[in-house]
Each structure stands twice: as C-alpha cells, then as structure tokens.
Amino acid sequence: MIAVIQRVSEASVTISDIEASRIGVGLLILLGIEGADTTEDIDWLTRKVANLRIFSDEEGKMNLSLLDIGGEVLVVSQFTLHALTKKGNRPSYIRAASPEIAIPLYEAFVKKMRVLGPPVLTGEFGADMQVSLVNDGPVTIIIDTKNKQ
C-alpha cells in the first residue's frame, strides 16, 4: 500500500463537474493498493498517518499530528501509484490490485481512519476525478507499507 500524504489548507474532489467532497485543514491522501496488501497494512498505515507530526505548533515547528489539530482527511484511490516505469514508456500497472481486492481494502482503510477520530471524506473508487488542493508548506510525504523499517 502506497500513500502520498499532503498537508493541505483545503482540498476537493470533483466528478462529472459536481463537487463530491471538500475538506479544510488536514490531509489529502492518495492511496494506491496492490494485490499483496492486507488489513495489517491498513492498521499500520492508518495509525502512522493519524499520528504523523507534520502540523506546526505555536513555535512553528512540525510537532502536531492530524489528531492534535482536529484536521480532516480526504482519501482518493489512485492505482497509478503502483506504476512500473523501468521498461519502455508506457507504465505497467500489474502490481495494482484488481477492483475485487482493492475496493474492500480501500473501504477498510477509510473506515479505520474514521475510527481513529478525524472526519474522513472520499473520492469515488474508479471514477475519473479532478482533485484540487492547496498544499500547505508544501508538505508531501510518501509512505509504502512494504518499507516499514
């Protein structure tokens, strides 16, 4: 499971010219799921994301987590995070999970994030989405659950 985590002052998802979701201060998470991912990856990643100290404290240092600031989360599925580009110019997505595997894991990730406390909105799995964001900082962090150590 790969997550691109962006600290945002706002973010939204539009589908077919209709705004589907919008958040204020918090995190935009682009989530790529591969066939080998499990609920163990979800448990580890959701705890890591919720507790990442990437928000500024009163001294301007990144010492606060999403939970500390009461921020919101927007989760967008993105299978292209698993693109293989070593050979040729056309990316291969063979590592990306099929919808039968990815959808339940995506939904479990969203549910687990909600259990941890922050308001969580989503895009629509498999939809053609336009994602808008104002990256605050900018702060962007990439986490791959296959590289936990």
Q: Would you place residue 29 in the very low, low, confident or very high pLDDT band (cuts 50, 70, 90)?
A: very high
pLDDT over 80 (residue 149) = no
Q: Any catalytic annotation for residue 80? A: yes
pLDDT over 80 (residue 144) = yes
3-state SS of the chain?
CEEEEEEEEEEEEEECCEEEEEECCEEEEEEECECCCCHHHHHHHHHHHHHCCCEECCCCCEEECHHHHCCEEEEEECHHHHCECCCCCCCECCCECCHHHHHHHHHHHHHHHHHHCCCEEECCCCCCEEEEEEEEEEEEEEEEHHHCC
Residue 69: what pLDDT? 97
What is the residue-averaged pLDDT of the chain? Answer: 95
Residue 146: what pLDDT? 92
Q: Would you place residue 66 in the very low, low, confident or very high pLDDT band (cuts 50, 70, 90)?
A: very high
Q: Any catalytic annotation for residue 78? A: yes
Q: Would you place residue 148 in the very low, low, confident or very high pLDDT band (cuts 50, 70, 90)?
A: confident
Give the chain's largest Cα–Cα span. Answer: 49
Strands 62-64 and 2-15: unpaired
The catalytic position among 78, 122, 125, 145 is 78
Q: What is the CATH number of the domain that holds 72?
A: 3.50.80.10
CA 137 to chain centre: 17
The catalytic position among 46, 55, 79, 145 is 79
Is-contact 149 19, C-beta < 8 A?
no
What are 75-133's pLDDT values in tens digits? Answer: 999 998 988 899 989 998 988 999 999 999 999 999 999 999 899 999 999 899 999 99
Share of the chain above pLDDT 70, in %: 99
Tally of domains within the chain:
1
Residue 15: what pLDDT? 97
Domain hosting 27: range is 2-147
Both tokens assigned to 74: 């927007």
Residue 94: what pLDDT? 87
